[in-house]
Each structure stands twice: as C-alpha cells, then as structure tokens.
Amino acid sequence: MRHKGGASETDGRGFSRHDLGNGFSTGFGMIDFLAQDATALAGMVAKGDVTPNELLEAALAKVAAVNPALNAVVLMQEDTARRSIAQGLPRGPFRGLPFLLKDLGCEAVDFPSHNGSRLFANTKYKRNSAIFERIRATGVVTFGRTTSPESGIGAATESAVYGAPTRNPWNLDHTSGGSSGGAGSVVAAGIVPFAHGSDGGGSVRIPASSCGLFGFKSTRARLPDGPYAGEGWAGMSIDGFLTRSVRDTATMLDACAGPDLGAPYVAPPLHKSHADAISRPPRRLRVGMCDTNFTGGAIHPEVAQAVRDAGHLLESLGHHVTPALPKADVPMMMRAWTDIVAVGTALSVRSGLNGRAMTADLVEGVSRGATVLAETFSPLRYLEAVGEIHAFGRQMAAAFSDFDILLSATLSEPPAKVGRFSHDTEDYLGYRIGPDGIFAYSPFCAIFNASGQPAASVPLAMSKDGLPIGIHLAAPYGNDEELIALCAELEAAQPWAARRPLVLA
C-alpha cells in the first residue's frame, strides 16, 4: 500500500510519512509488513526512517482491517505495548518491531492467556517465562496473542474459546494450520512481520507450510522451557517462530537459544550461531529424498511433485540427491506420541477443572477424549511410551548414516478445509492416528519432535489452486546450523518473499 502524498506529509495525527521505496510508506495504517522482512524493518528503525510507534499503529490498523476475516489476533494489550515504547525498549536486534505471542505457553505477566481453552480463559501469570524474557530482550513491541487449538493437539486452529475458526489468508475456506495457526495467519497476512509459535508435533512447521512461511524446529532443548514447565511432552515440544525470511528466524533463535536455570538437559552447543551459519552456503550434502510418506504410502500428487522439484533444485545447487525411506518404526512412534500427549492433556485438564465435572462447556471433545483415554492407561504406560520415543530417536539417528539431510513434504496434501479437523469429536485416537486423522495429513513433522532432530518447512511451492505447499528438511541431532544454512541457500535460489495471499486483495 503506497501512500500517494509527498515525502514530508503528515496524516493529521502527528505521524510523518517518508517514502522508503518498494511500496513501503510510514504513517498510520500505511506500513506494509509484507514489503520488508523483520531484519530490514529493524534496520529502518535503527536509522530513524520509521519509529516504533508508527510500526505499532500500522500493526493495529492491520488488525482492524483483516483480523475480522481471519480470527487470529486475541487478547490485545495495546496500552502495555505503548507503555513499553514510552519506557524505552531494549536495544536488541528487533528493537521497535510489533510482535505477537502464541496463546499457549510463553507465559508473561503483562499478557494473560486463554491457552486455547475455555477452561483456562484469562489466565494471569505472576512471573515471566524464560522464553518471553529472551524475546522481550530483542526489543520487540508485544501487543497481544495469536490463536491456538485447545491443548495444542490439532493441525488446525478452531478453538471454541475464540468463537470461530482461524482462517488461512491464502484462502479463507482453508485452515492456517495448528497449533500455531494464529501465528501463521498473522504473519502471512502482514499484521506483524514475524510471530512466536511452538512445536510439539509440527505446530510451527504445519502453519508455515499452510501459510507460505518459513518455520524451523530446533534440536530438542535448544530453547528454554522454564520455569512453568520442566519439559514439554517428554521433551518433544519446543518454542519457535513464524517468519517470512530465514534470517529473521536465525536472529531470533540466536537471541533465545540456551538453557534456562535448572533445565533438565541441554542441546549440543552451536559451533558459532545460526546467523553465522547462513552467511555462507553449507558444504555439498547427501540428501535423501522421500516423495511418499515415511512408510511408503502415497501423498497428494501435487505435493509429491513439489518434493521432486525441490530435489532437482538441490541437485542444481550441487547437492547429491538420492531416493530414501528411513528405516524406523513410525507406527510405534505415532502411538507413543499420541499416548504421551493424552497424558499431558489429561494432567492439564484435571488441574484446570479442580474437581469440577468435565463438561462440554468447559472442555472440547478431543481433549475430553484424550483425558478419558489417558485414565485407562496402566501406571506404567507413560514411561513405556517415553522409552519407545527414545528408541525411535535411535532408529532415526541410524537412518541418517546414509544421508545428511532428509527431504520430504511438510504435509501430505495442501492445506485442509476449515472444519475437517474440528475438535468436536471425542474419538481422540481416531482424530490423531485414524486413517483420516492428523498423522495421515501430517505424517512427517512429529517424527522429528520424537527424535529431537532439527527440522524446517520451506515455502518452495504452490498448488494449482493457489495454496502454499511446504517442503520439509531435517538434519541429524544438533546440526541446526547446517540445516538453516541449507534453508537460506534454497531461499536465495528460489525466493518466496514476493508472494502475497489473496485476502489482501
């Protein structure tokens, strides 16, 4: 959206406008967060070309303009954001940029949360989480939260606490993914340049694939969990970010990486940093390409072709690409993941109920089903499932002896229609591992939550219907820097930044 007036014009509210090129103008409601990534915007703030207040005004105007269609921004704290600017922002790498937190985890005193659930609506916190403190230190201006499904266990974001589904900016009939579906939606729509998310079974990478964004899941324990959680889902869950560029993710990861006080375990140390890694191409790599799911089953033909196209692109860059199918017990892993998450859901639900009945007005169907299932387990089942997850991680580590990178799709098909993964059903097992369930739709992502390996979704393709198709890349445990360097190389070879979702028309 280019302002048509002169370079020194004001809008009557005291906001100066300066033409910054590339279709980007400052002023109330005039800033286009799709014209530049967060790194470029931060540079403009540092040079004085735009102010934090102007960026906040633009984000608030964009919320008013497009959020009614998307239903992605919730629990706005405008006064808190203005106060943080007035008091002086930390001089971090993203000073002055508007930012949103996922409405699940990332606990913060100034940002109450529903946690995606009517059961936990308007929860307030007495102290900040470690991940929030590190995000705040980057200098961002947080002004609210983004929608998430109840318990974070879905590949779509349609929680009852928000009154309506969250929709995909590329096509409002389709889901933006989950569980960081609100984050994916707001970044793709240009409400903010980047946003916080988290990933326990693909919850950053699924929205990234669905919304045409970059999503990176770090090696297990690369980012802090405390003090509100010792670990997420037996170590399978980790925070992350939805961004439009690889460099934005690299900088945020460098700012937030490292254990918090008392962390039960830590990730292998980085050689240098994510930002340093993307400053040069990686070595030429052995890439195993899988254009089916990991048990050899067929995926959507357009998605399979996108995987093969990505393989050809990697070959053109000098990497060695060969067909691959990792030898690992995927069905065992899927059931173990499902049972661990059921136990986690039951623990959360029972603590929230505090003795009340588990009724439909408080807890959604899938969470009720998960709770009931968990309470049928033997007391031994949880540790048995954790042991199965760890055994699977060893299987995947062995599989990577044949290649350096595993290439696949992120999802088995383009983004699903809204309502397909509604939480109304109480059949939790069917919802997760049934023939039409989440794992059939997303058979790749949770593999690497279980193994703890770093993995990323790169927005390299589009369907014939104009929906994003993510390409998934995974690396051995601890090899985050090599993986993100490869993602940056792909971004340079086949840029995606110019794409804009249809909702903006």
Q: Domain boundaries in the chain? A: 38-504
Q: Would the pLDDT of 423 be above 70?
A: yes
Q: Would the pLDDT of 12 be above 50?
A: no
* DSSP characters over 341-400: HHHHHHHHHHHHHTTS---TTTS-HHHHHHHHHHTTS-TTHHHHHHHHHHHHHHHHHHHT
Q: Give the tokens for residue 419.
A: 């309502």
By annotation, the residues acting in catalysis are: 102, 179, 203
413 Cβ contact list (under 8 Å, min separation 6)? 299, 300, 303, 441
Distance in angstroms (rounded) separating the CA atoms of residues 202 and 116: 17
CATH number of 38-504: 3.90.1300.10
What sign does the CA torsion over 186, 27, 252, 138 have? negative
* pTM given for the model: 0.94
Q: What is the pLDDT of residues 288-344, one digit of tens each?
A: 999 999 999 999 999 999 999 999 999 999 999 999 999 999 999 999 999 999 999
> By three-state DSSP, how is residue 100 classified?
strand
Q: Would the pLDDT of 237 be above 60?
A: yes
Q: Would the pLDDT of 264 be above 50?
A: yes
- Answer whether 362's CB lies under 8 Å from 368's CB: no
- Answer whether 39's CB lies under 8 Å from 97's CB: no
How many Cβ atoms from other residues are within 10 Å of residue 377's Cβ? 15
What is the average pLDDT across 269-277?
Answer: 98
Residue 211 pLDDT class (50, 70, 90 cuts): very high
Q: What is the pLDDT of residues 214-231, one digit of tens each?
A: 999 999 999 999 999 999
- Answer whether 265's CB lies under 8 Å from 226's CB: no
What is the average pLDDT across 181-186?
Answer: 98
Distance in angstroms (rounded) separating the CA atoms of residues 461 and 308: 11
Average pLDDT, the chain: 93
Distance in angstroms (rounded) separating the CA atoms of residues 197 and 249: 11
Q: What is the pLDDT of residues 437-446, one digit of tens each?
A: 999 999 999 9
What is the average pLDDT across 83-88?
Answer: 98
Amino acid at 301: P
Residue 204 pLDDT class (50, 70, 90 cuts): very high
Residue 15 pLDDT class (50, 70, 90 cuts): very low
Bridge partner residues of 198 (DSSP)? 239
What is the average pLDDT across 84-107?
Answer: 98
Distance in angstroms (rounded) separating the CA atoms of residues 357 and 121: 17
What is the average pLDDT across 410-432?
Answer: 98
pLDDT of residue 26: 41
What percent of the chain has pLDDT above 90? 93
